Amino acid sequence: MDMSIEKEKLLKYYFKENKSVSDIAKILGKSENGINYWMKKYEIKKRTIGEAIYLKNNPYGDPFRIKLPNNLYLAELKGFGLGLYWGEGNKKNKNSIKLANTDAGLINKFIEFLIKILGVDKKDIKFSLQVFNDVDPEKARSYWINKLNIKAGQFYKTVTVTKSNRLGTCKEKNKYGVINIYYHNTKLKNILIDMLPL
């Protein structure tokens, strides 16, 4: 068994510096089994697999920062964003914030909510498009890129084409398809769910 390791060192590396057991073993010149032994002996609770994966994917901390509204506009924006997600968002997806709509103004408002209230970086938001078979997919993509002021690289490559049985106003409403907006972060998804009055 490895020689005694100070509890303070383990706490420092594991929690303050977010090192893995493997990292700590390399730093201290010990075996992973030895590190695990002393972690258990000191009753230091280890991260779950999910927490470890999240930390590995976000080594510099959360890629978002929740902001408290400090004026009426931001308070209203928060209320709008929560209401929109509560009514229209996909709450079953465990790892992503997802919402779909045909209205560019509404989608832009939700993007503003993500940025100004949830503190995400706009470039990290992804999109996909579902269009009917009588709509030009590239024209529809260009429409959304311009309306939302986003980059083509933020779109997933696949555009789903479905059979059109549309008549009247429905056809006009969907002439640029349904846009899906995604922000992939399990932790933020759970925070958002907790904000909802469910």
pLDDT tens digit string along 80-130? 999 999 999 999 888 899 999 999 999 999 999 999 999 999 999 999 999
More confident residue, 48 or 122: 122
Confidence of residue 53 (pLDDT cuts 50, 70, 90): confident
Is the model's pLDDT at 138 over the cut of 60? yes
Number of separate domains in the chain: 2
- 47 part of a folded domain: yes
Q: Both 113 and 179 in a single domain? A: yes
Q: Are 177 and 102 in contact (CB under 8 A)?
A: yes
Range with the lowest mean pLDDT among 1-5, 55-59, 125-129, 174-178? 1-5
- The confidence score (pLDDT) of residue 171 equals 53
- The confidence score (pLDDT) of residue 173 equals 58
- 123 part of a folded domain: yes
- The confidence score (pLDDT) of residue 132 equals 84
More confident residue, 164 or 48: 48
Name the range with the highest mean pLDDT among 11-20, 30-39, 117-126: 117-126
- The confidence score (pLDDT) of residue 146 equals 97
Q: Both 88 and 160 in a single domain? A: yes
Q: Both 35 and 82 in a single domain? A: no
Say whether 108 sits in a helix, a strand or coil.
helix
Phi-psi region of 126 (alpha: psi -120 to 50; beta: other; left: phi over 0): beta
- The confidence score (pLDDT) of residue 160 equals 76
Q: Are 168 and 94 in contact (CB under 8 A)?
A: no
- 62 part of a folded domain: no
What's the token pair of residue 56? Answer: 């590995």
In 3D space, the residue among 76, 79, 64, 69 whose CA is nearest the CA of residue 197 turns out to be 79
Cα separation, 125 vs 120, in Å, equals 8
What's the token pair of residue 186? Answer: 């399990």
Q: Both 98 and 178 in a single domain? A: yes
Q: Both 28 and 100 in a single domain? A: no
The runs of H, that is alpha helices, within the chain are 7-11, 21-28, 32-41, 49-57, 72-88, 104-116, 137-148, 168-173, 186-195
Q: What is the mean pLDDT of the chain?
A: 89
Range of the domain at 94: 72-195
In 3D space, the residue among 130, 129, 187, 190 whose CA is nearest the CA of residue 154 turns out to be 129
Q: Which residues contact 156 (CB under 8 A, 6 or more apart)?
A: 126, 127, 128
Q: Both 124 and 36 in a single domain? A: no
Print burial letters for 110-134: b (CB count within 10 Å at least 16), e (below 16).
bbebbbbbbebeeeebbbbbbbbee
% the chain with pLDDT above 70: 91
Q: Both 77 and 24 in a single domain? A: no
- The confidence score (pLDDT) of residue 169 equals 47
For the chain, how big is the Rg over CA atoms in Å? 23
Indicate the pTM of the whole model: 0.78
